[in-house]
Amino acid sequence: MSTVVGIEASVIPPLNIDNNKRRIRSARRHRKLLWIFGGTFTICALLYWEQAGLLFVLSTLAICGLLLVVAFSNLEVRDKEIHNRALEKLSTNSDERKQPEKKAA
């Protein structure tokens, strides 16, 4: 058996792409939950200590950030690509229907 830096090659597991995707999805899920619970805790703490002014400023900044994300997202290009793909699919389906059947003479 071949060895790689003192480790037998049969011990090294093959690279599993599905396992890597699953790990990435899990990390994203955990990060999302961390943001949700962190934001909830922050809001509850600000309400508990009666910091309505700070809560107002933070919520205003969050809404501004959300609006900037929506404003700079290029939704028109994405919609145009989806529309073009749908038109191509319709045209290929109609071309298949329009082809005359060959009749035996």
What's the structural domain count of the chain?
A: 2
Q: Quick check: 55 and 43 in contact, CB under 8 A?
A: yes
Same domain, residue pair 35 and 72: no
Checking 54-57 for CB contacts under 8 A at 24+ apart, the result is none
Write out pLDDT tens, residues 5-53. 555 555 555 567 788 889 999 999 999 999 999 999 999 999 999 999 9
How long is the chain? 105
- What is the value of pTM for the model shown? 0.53
Same domain, residue pair 43 and 58: no
Write out pLDDT tens, residues 50-84. 999 999 999 999 999 999 998 888 878 888 888 88
Q: Would residue 31 count as lying in a domain? A: yes
Checking 45-51 for CB contacts under 8 A at 24+ apart, the result is none
Same domain, residue pair 45 and 69: no
Q: Would residue 104 count as lying in a domain? A: no
* CA neighbours closer than 13 Å in the CB half-sphere of residue 52: 1
**Strand, coil or helix: what is 7?**
strand
